[in-house]
Amino acid sequence: MPELPEVENVGRAIAAALIGRAVTGVKAPFSGVLGQSLRATRKALVGKQLADVHRHGKYLILNFTGEGGGEAHLMIHLRMTGQIFVMDGYVPDKHVHVSFDFDGVPVHYRDIRKFGRLVLVEDGRRPAALDHVGPDMLTVRWSEWHARAAHRAAPIKAVLLDQGVAAGLGNIYVDESLFLARVHPEARPRDLDDATLREVLKRAKQVLRLAIKHGGTTFMNFADFHGRPGNFRRKLRVYGRGGEDCRDCGGTLEKTVVGGRGTVFCPRCQS
């Protein structure tokens, strides 16, 4: 599933390639991934220029402006297998459900499982559809995150995965963050001192920034705007490495389930 770093890279690529270009056409072989009808989506977007791309957690919001000051805002959630890309010579397959034309530049939304959504929203920064989502994990301040997380009795891994606490972290980057913070994934935030919680937040932001720098992590479906996979996988310390040697202490990494999610940790480093 694309997490914050993957979505950030897609957003940056969209901005670099398309800001200033107008939507001249929209096709939807499967309009079920649209939040509104194809007709309503075309009416809102065609003729308007992409002015800005905003990300919040795992969501992208594309902000469009038209002549006379008209605006439109398209929120995109890639969910499990969503991809957005433009590639020279690319021939859309059966999994491409929406195609946009930006002044002759084709942009395709591809989604094998059809769980992603492209929804017109009323606001380009914080639409009502995101009322259930917490602050962005990459920019949340310590005081706000502490107020939302420190009292929790659930395992720290489950709290980090809770998008209502802070948005953007998924399974990969939670395991990596907790390893770097030397915190066991089943530890409860309310039992941890502030210094330890500060370290968790610091390491989570560090991991996200590093993953953004390396284009994200690819295991199955994610590819960037131009069809390239991320290469952060080479830097993973624990995720997906259960049973292998810890790169720090040489002990054996263990795999368990926390909050219903597969979890890898080092019993020595994260005791």
The dihedral built from the CA positions of residue 187, 193, 197 and 200, taken in this order, carries a sign that is: negative
Catalytic hit among 3, 6, 8, 199: 3
Distance CA 110, CA 171 (A): 23
Catalytic hit among 2, 5, 155, 189: 2
Catalytic hit among 188, 261, 267, 268: 261
- Only one residue has tokens 């939304």, namely 109
Active site residue 29: no
- Are the C-beta atoms of residues 268 and 261 closer than 8 Å to each other? no
Of all helices (H) and strands (E), which one includes residue 76?
Answer: strand 71-77
Edge-first strand listing for the sheet containing 117-121: 49-56, 59-65, 71-77, 117-121
Active site residue 2: yes
Active site residue 58: yes
Per DSSP, what are the bridge partners of residue 63? 52, 73
Task: Residue 134: name the closest of 169, 171, 163 by CA.
Answer: 163
Per DSSP, what are the bridge partners of residue 257? 262
Catalytic hit among 48, 55, 58, 148: 58
Q: What is the SS3 assignment for 106?
A: strand
Distance CA 45, CA 75 (A): 12
Active site residue 5: no
The CB density around residue 269, as the number of other CB atoms within 10 Å, is 20
Check residue 34 and report its DSSP letter: B
Distance CA 2, CA 25 (A): 27
* Residues annotated catalytic, as ranges: 2-3, 58, 261
